Chain A
């Protein structure tokens, strides 16, 4: 079981809800993924169209936990206010905290992130900080009160997989007891497997599913990859080596030269 704050979860796949071809495909993809947590956001609502109301009804019908994000926030103030608004609307103390530092890479502003995390943890939020693979930043986030970390694999929506597996391995090894969800940059199921094989507790996927030619089938593929990666981690992968080792026994081999 995966434990994220007070939640015990069977699935190690968290799914984003953005950029699907239609609401029905989103619904089918969430079901195919077996995700028990989906990310959501807040945007301006028009009093005439009330588009957000329909979306919220679809999500509520799924019966999953929601993890509201602070996507698009560039300052501590914006992120904190957005989190406060999300807590009221979604009725959860969970927040995926994003403080964006640079527009082209959507790289987290880790200084603002730590500051916002400290404020929100004091206000009773359960913060899921979207951060880099930097170990010292991770330690500062834990000091600020975070009990889950979300290091990036690669820039949001890039689909590049784990850009820095060495640093991610270090992060995992140095903070063994902290639940960590690799968030962002995962493009194909093998990337998700890799994250789980390295000992990360879960992955958060959005674009790789929603922008696939068949999002529902891809959601299922990710579910299998995540389960396989976790099973492999628990089974204890072999250590890689540079030279070959014959797998077939050499003792008793016939001399036919």
Chain B
């Protein structure tokens, strides 16, 4: 299915957020996730079902002031 990951259109086979992250190369990475603007905690990712067109944000530590 087609989803938006950090603003870019991506094709994923996985039906849940945990699987999609693995497929997209985030395996083992320290990231926080949101689906359609709502925070999804790491523990909830396997149960977070994805649907066509979902907007996923994958954020990581970055420099900040």
What B residues does A207 contact at CB under 8 A? 65
A20 to B65, CA, bound (A): 11
How many residue-residue contacts, CB under 8 A, span A and B? 115
| Interface membership of chain B positions 48-65, coded 1 if the CB is closer than 8 angstroms to chain A and 0 otherwise | 000000000111111111
What B residues does A157 contact at CB under 8 A? 65
A88-B63 in contact (CB<8A): no
Interface residues of A in 98-137 (CB under 8 A from B): none
Nearest A residue to B24 via CB reads: A47
| B2 part of interface (Cβ distance < 8 Å) | no
A46-B6 in contact (CB<8A): yes
Interface residues of A in 174-211 (CB under 8 A from B): 204, 206-207
B65-A44 in contact (CB<8A): no
Shortest Cβ distance from A131 into chain B, in angstroms? Answer: 16
Total count of chain B residues near the partner, CB < 8 A: 27
A40-B37 in contact (CB<8A): no
A90-B61 in contact (CB<8A): yes
Shortest Cβ distance from B58 into chain A, in angstroms? Answer: 5
A52-B62 contact, Cβ under 8 Å, with A47-B24, A81-B38, A89-B31:
yes
A86-B32 contact, Cβ under 8 Å, with A45-B58, A81-B38:
yes
A17 to B20, CA, bound (A): 31
A55-B59 in contact (CB<8A): no
A50-B63 in contact (CB<8A): no
B61-A19 in contact (CB<8A): no
Beyond A41-B62, A45-B31, A88-B39, 11 additional contacts (C-beta under 8 Å) are: A17-B65, A40-B62, A45-B60, A47-B5, A51-B62, A53-B61, A59-B61, A69-B64, A88-B32, A88-B42, A204-B65
